[in-house]
Amino acid sequence: MSVLRQFCAALVSVLLIAFAAPLAAQNADAPIQRLLQEHGEIIAKSSRRTIGPAIDALADSGLLEAQAVLERWQAKEMWFDKEAGLFVYAEEIDRHTIRAFDFADGTELGEFEDKGFKQLKPNSGIRGLIGAALVRFQLNDPNPSARAAALIAIERDADESHLAALRAVKETEDNPRLRERIDRLERILTIRFAEDDAERIAAIESFNGDLGVDVRAVLNPLVVTSLDAAKTLPNDPDVVGQVEYGTERLSAEDAYELLVTKELAVPRITRGDQKAALIANIDVDAVAGIEVASLNTVTARDMAYAALAREGAVEPAATAAEVAHAFDVYVFFERYRNASPAVAIAAQAVLTGIENKVALNQTIDLGLDALSLASIYFLAAIGLAITFGVMGVINMAHGEFIMMGAYTGYVVQLFIPDYTLSIMVAIPLAFAVTFGAGVAMERLVIRWLYHRPLETLLATFGISIALQQLAKNIFGTQARPLTAPGWLDGSLVFNDIVSISYIRIAIFVLALLFLALFLIVMNRTRLGLEVRAVTQNPRMAASMGINPDRINMLTFGFGSGIAGIAGVAIGLYAKVTSEMGSDYIVQSFMTVVVGGVGNIWGTLLGATMVGTMQKGIEWLNPSNTLAAQTYMILFIILFIQFRPKGIIALKGRAAEA
């Protein structure tokens, strides 16, 4: 190698002397040019594996021009003058002509045909290495945003050299926010790369209680353990603790496998290998004197294999007794693998603290999730709380009103492309559409069926089936998008664990608005008074001059209209399909029934309970939302056993209405 290098160096110098003519103006002896020449060969070779020394030499040179060279190189603006054997930077004027500049002082060397030059095109791997080296220059950049970018580059792909660079600028950084970030990054890199254990432990302990993902990412590898086995538990500092075999951490099979790999036990033979060995040793119609036809039990096969082993035809395998003995004799334990014991123990202590805090924050996050699910259920159920809770009408097509509202939103978005405006239009329009549908349904069907709840249920089922298929016929079976306005994108982030998307906050606020609307309409308006009067005693209300037919119609329309608005909100959060209504109808009825029919606060409590329950069960079994729904429904069925009238049961006369 070195012979070749010398030869090349000689060649380069020969070239230098021979063809210096065209670039006479360039200073071939400038320190930066000499440095480049020194590494000219590997720079020209441009291989990610060998380029390292060249970049390091440039970065460590302390030359002012080094940063410019690295930047030009990274930007593919460095060219090699084949005749002069010098590196220049250049800009392309057209396809065949370049304008070259000297690295040393930036003087223009003139325009040249590009035939005599070779453009250096570093691949992305090399550009990454150059970038990492540039970071050190950038950390000293006068522009704060360039320094911030450098920090991001380090966060993404740190290496040992960055630690020194960060320490060098730690004291001089005058921007307090950047200084904070540099300090944090410096401590993280200390944990990763510092040689001195005391230094690392100090850095680890400085992160006590920090919730950042980066901290856990750097601490977790330190506490990785590997399994080991010995006759007695060794008293080494790196031993974490004994592990029982046959547990989730270490299955009995893996434990035995560990003994075998450590050559502490004879390997067992799998049933498959045993079978293969027996087949390989079939002699006419017997294996080791045992008839093949009788080898249809495990014990017979074990006997045949043992007989083969005695004959020496196969390797002996561990018997059950030997396996049991091995398990008796050896203990299994874990050792820290990636760090010295002191560091690992410190990391473990900090991690435990962090994990406790994480768990607390996850609980808060879960609570927020549950709250937003509860507000969705509440939204879906509040219309039902009016039609079913107040009027006592079972409307199984309520889910289809939700769907109708969502499709109204979708159609509005087809005509009004501005999402904010289209939502503003969609909400009143959805109310109008479903109010109309509700009034029509009340007039045509439900009016005839008051006081026959089972038949109301059946008739509205019919309507629900028809409406669902109708939606399918019009809009097709695929899910339609209902896009939220841009200002509802993203989420409110409290820390790395607790966050809630704005759309969920919007739904929560909407649920609160609906609750307020319901309370105001029912308790503070003439309509609400008349509704309550008609619900309690229609004849008495009629004799007081209230028209019960009109009130029933309006109330049903109002409940249906609210379902339409809920549909827009739910559509923003989930996809719009013809079946979305039936997804919510059972839960909605459950919410109303669990809460207590006829009481809005009960519905609120019911929604909270159902939402919290579902999220809680999902948390216990995160892989399976179907199971969560199943168990939740089972829970509700049982709950109704014990409180058949719901959480808040109406008392007195209202209960009989």
Partner 1 sequence: MTNVALDTAPARQPTFLLISNPSVLIFLACLAIFTLGVTVLAEGFGIGVISTSFVKTLGKTLCLCLVALAMDLVWGYCGILSLGHMAFFGIGGYAIGMWLMYARTEIIVVQSLSAAPLPPTTQEISDGIAAQIFGVVGASEFPPIWAVAHSLPLQLAAVVLVPGLLALVFGWLAFRSRVTGVYLSILTQAMTLALSLYLFQNDSGLRGNNGLSGLQNLPGLGDVPQSTVSIWFFWASALALGLGYLLCVWVVSGKFGSVIRAIRDDESRVRFLGYPVEAYKLFIFTITAVIAGIAGALYYPQAGIINPAEIAPIASIYLAVWVAIGGRGRLYGAVIGAAFVSLLSTYFTGGQAPDINLGFYTIQWVNWWTVLLGLSFVVVTLFAPKGLGGLFDFIASKRSPSRHGADLGPDAGALREKEAET
Instruction: Pick the binder of partner 1 from 483, 495, 582, 612 (CB under 8 A).
Output: 582
Shortest CB 258 distance to partner 1, Å:
24
297 is a contact residue toward partner 1 (CB under 8 A): yes
Per DSSP, 335 falls in state E
Instruction: Pick the binder of partner 1 from 284, 293, 321, 414 (CB under 8 A).
Output: 293
593 is a contact residue toward partner 1 (CB under 8 A): yes
Q: Which of residues 381-410 bind partner 1 (CB under 8 A)?
A: 394
Residue closer to partner 1, measured from CB, 207 or 305? 305
Residue closer to partner 1, measured from CB, 338 or 629? 629
654 is a contact residue toward partner 1 (CB under 8 A): no
49 is a contact residue toward partner 1 (CB under 8 A): no
Shortest CB 243 distance to partner 1, Å:
26
H or E, element range at 542: helix 538-543
Q: Is the dihedral of CA 55, 61, 67, 72 positive or negative?
A: negative
Instruction: Pick the binder of partner 1 from 22, 440, 629, 650 (CB under 8 A).
Output: 629
Beta bridge partners of 81: 86, 117
Shortest CB 235 distance to partner 1, Å:
42
39 is a contact residue toward partner 1 (CB under 8 A): no
What character string, x for contact with partner 1 (CB under 8 A) and - otherwise, covers 250-289? ---------------------x---x--xx--x-------
Q: Which stretch binds partner 1 (CB under 8 A): 39-47, 168-176, 206-214, 440-448?
A: 440-448
H or E, element range at 331: strand 331-336
Residues 115 and 97: their CA atoms lie apart, in Å, by 9
Shortest CB 442 distance to partner 1, Å:
13
540 is a contact residue toward partner 1 (CB under 8 A): no
H or E, element range at 272: helix 271-280
Shortest CB 251 distance to partner 1, Å:
15
Give 483's contacts (C-beta < 8 A, 6+ positions apart).
413, 419, 572
447 is a contact residue toward partner 1 (CB under 8 A): yes
455 is a contact residue toward partner 1 (CB under 8 A): yes
Instruction: Pick the binder of partner 1 from 437, 636, 647, 648 (CB under 8 A).
Output: 636
Shortest CB 302 distance to partner 1, Å:
11
449 is a contact residue toward partner 1 (CB under 8 A): yes
Residue closer to partner 1, measured from CB, 152 or 620? 620
Residues 307 and 296: their CA atoms lie apart, in Å, by 16
Provide the 3-class DSSP secondary structure of residue 90.
Answer: strand
Per DSSP, 221 falls in state G
Instruction: Pick the binder of partner 1 from 134, 135, 459, 648 (CB under 8 A).
Output: 459
* CA-to-CA dists, residue 18 to 23, 473, 528, angstroms: 12, 84, 102
Q: Which of residues 146-175 bind partner 1 (CB under 8 A)?
A: none
Task: Please state the length of the chain.
Answer: 657
Give 374's contacts (C-beta < 8 A, 6+ positions apart).
607, 608, 610, 611, 612
Six token digits for residue 295: 């080898």
Place of tokens 């100090």: 202
644 is a contact residue toward partner 1 (CB under 8 A): yes
Residue closer to partner 1, measured from CB, 189 or 590? 590
Residues 396 and 581: their CA atoms lie apart, in Å, by 10
Place of tokens 């060219």: 79
145 is a contact residue toward partner 1 (CB under 8 A): no
Q: Which stretch binds partner 1 (CB under 8 A): 81-89, 186-194, 516-524, 637-645?
A: 637-645
Instruction: Pick the binder of partner 1 from 115, 451, 651, 653 (CB under 8 A).
Output: 451
Residue 590: CB atoms within 10 A of its CB come to: 23
586 is a contact residue toward partner 1 (CB under 8 A): yes
Residues 372 and 572: their CA atoms lie apart, in Å, by 13
- Number of residues lying near partner 1 (CB under 8 A): 58
3 is a contact residue toward partner 1 (CB under 8 A): no
Six token digits for residue 426: 């969609």
Residue 293: CB atoms within 10 A of its CB come to: 8
Residue closer to partner 1, measured from CB, 69 or 278? 278
Residue closer to partner 1, measured from CB, 53 or 453? 453
Label residue 478 left, alpha or beta by phi (over 0 means left) and psi (-120 to 50 means alpha).
beta
Note whether 292 and 282 are within 8 A (CB): yes
637 is a contact residue toward partner 1 (CB under 8 A): yes
Residues 323 and 265: their CA atoms lie apart, in Å, by 8
590 is a contact residue toward partner 1 (CB under 8 A): yes
Burial of 161 (0-12, 13-18, 19+ CB in 10 A): middle
DSSP 4-31: HHHHHHHHHHHHHHHT-GGGTTS-TTSH
Residue closer to partner 1, measured from CB, 190 or 591? 591
Q: How many helices (H) and strands (E) does the chain have?
A: 27, 12
Instruction: Pick the binder of partner 1 from 6, 123, 251, 469 (CB under 8 A).
Output: 469
Residue closer to partner 1, measured from CB, 368 or 393? 393
The three-state (H, E, C) secondary structure of 278-314, written as one string = HHHCCECCEECCEEHHHCCCHHHHHHHHHHHHHHCCC
428 is a contact residue toward partner 1 (CB under 8 A): no
Q: Which stretch binds partner 1 (CB under 8 A): 94-102, 431-439, 567-575, 585-593?
A: 585-593
Six token digits for residue 601: 């606060």
Shortest CB 531 distance to partner 1, Å:
19
Instruction: Return residues touching partner 1 (CB under 8 A).
Output: 271, 275, 278-279, 282, 292-298, 301, 394, 445, 447-455, 457-459, 461-470, 472-473, 582, 586, 589-590, 593, 624, 626-627, 629-630, 633-634, 636-638, 640-642, 644
